[in-house]
Amino acid sequence: MFNRGRLIIARQRRQLSKKELAEKAKVSQVTLTRIETGLTEDPEEATISALASALNYPVEFFYLDDCEVLQTESASFRSLSSLTAKQRDAALAAASLAFEFSDWVSNRFNLPPSDIVDLRHEDPRAAAGALRRCWGLGSKPVLNLINVLEAKGVRVFSLSERNKNVDAFSCWRGKTPFIFLNTFKSAERSRFDAAHEIGHLVMHRHGVAGDRNLEKEADQFAAAFLVPPEDLICHLPSVGSVSQLVSGKKRWGVSVAALARNLFEAGLVSDWHYRELCKRISALGYRTKEPAPMAREGSMLWRKVFEFLWKDRVGKEAVAKSLCWPTDEIVALVGGLYGDTNQSAVRAERPSLKVI
């Protein structure tokens, strides 16, 4: 039976309007609207084939069970106002696919269970400290935040949206927390986004999406989680110049601008000095191009999963086929976090040669 919900998901993933898809598939817009609204329950095979081809999705995808759809209010978008409807829907549709992929993996592998505590009544900075203690982090820097999240049961996916409007978002699916990160941004920014989303997961499980106060709280949480004030005082008690920030930021893996803000919040620079640092950071172009950029964090969980699969000669194409997805959707969800999927897939698909 044709599943119209899946057609909508696929169209949203490709960021196409109905009009654009109809033109691309060479079907009438009325026909497409009737299919999507359910007025045409059983579309002709040729129509489905044309739509599938235009979307670059396998036809089988449209005959599977319903996709779990994430509602806008269930996801914590950081800057909902700057998002276009297309960008928002594409991100939400990515979550639907991520849930399917997560189920596929969970059926085959034992993954870490969630260890996200409920800190909804805590002040953001106190919550950051409490979570650090709970996870045994103390006040030490975290080398790879994605690995920490994965070890604590968060499923981390990438949003390869090729735009900066979608920062990141998080959501709960039953007892499993999910975080989606925009890998189009700098590694430092992506790390801050991840910490920001942890803040939402621990403090705002039942919060209202897009609430400015909640966003501010999540920012405060992220700053304190990545740069514990006591560690900052120990290692960077005084700062005179931006160059000191550039060398100092490596310890905590944050942007120069974020570190300056942390110094101000910790009372290590005056209001005047902070504003001067901000002006200098802007003048040097560090807000758009991070100096001394850190390496992008990778996923250990997806790497391990694909390494196990590769031992069975299963590459990403085979996984995509099993899910009835186009391969690029696997790449979009985990490719930004696990750079070797292309390589392993190529290895998996290449026939082995024998020397006779």
User: What are the residues binding other proteins (CB under 8 A)?
Assistant: 107-112, 133, 135-144, 147-148, 150-151, 230-231, 233-235, 251, 300-301, 304-305, 308
Q: How far apart are CA 78 and CA 19, in angstroms?
A: 29
Q: How far apart are CA 344 and CA 347, in angstroms?
A: 5
Give whichever of 110 and 288 is closer to other proteins, judged by the CB atom: 110
Element housing 155 (H / E): strand 155-159
Give whichever of 147 and 186 is closer to other proteins, judged by the CB atom: 147
Q: How far is CA 30 from CA 39, 72, 190, 330, 332, in A?
A: 11, 27, 41, 32, 31
Q: How far apart are CA 95 and CA 74, in angstroms?
A: 11
192: left (phi over 0), alpha (psi -120 to 50) or beta: alpha
Query: Are 170 and 75 spatial neighbours (Cβ–Cβ below 8 Å)?
Result: yes
Q: Per DSSP, what are the bridge partners of residue 172?
A: 177
> From the CB of 303, what's the least distance to other proteins, in Å?
9
> From the CB of 142, what's the least distance to other proteins, in Å?
5
> From the CB of 109, what's the least distance to other proteins, in Å?
6
> From the CB of 139, what's the least distance to other proteins, in Å?
6
Tokens of 48: 């489905």
Give whichever of 254 and 301 is closer to other proteins, judged by the CB atom: 301
Q: How far apart are CA 155 and CA 146, in angstroms?
A: 9
Give whichever of 62 and 306 is closer to other proteins, judged by the CB atom: 306
Give whichever of 112 and 240 is closer to other proteins, judged by the CB atom: 112
Give whichever of 278 and 294 is closer to other proteins, judged by the CB atom: 294
Q: How far apart are CA 324 and CA 252, in angstroms?
A: 41
> From the CB of 299, what's the least distance to other proteins, in Å?
8
Cα angle 287, 15, 88 (rounded to 5 degrees) comes to: 55
> From the CB of 132, what's the least distance to other proteins, in Å?
9
Give whichever of 15 and 139 is closer to other proteins, judged by the CB atom: 139
> From the CB of 88, what's the least distance to other proteins, in Å?
30
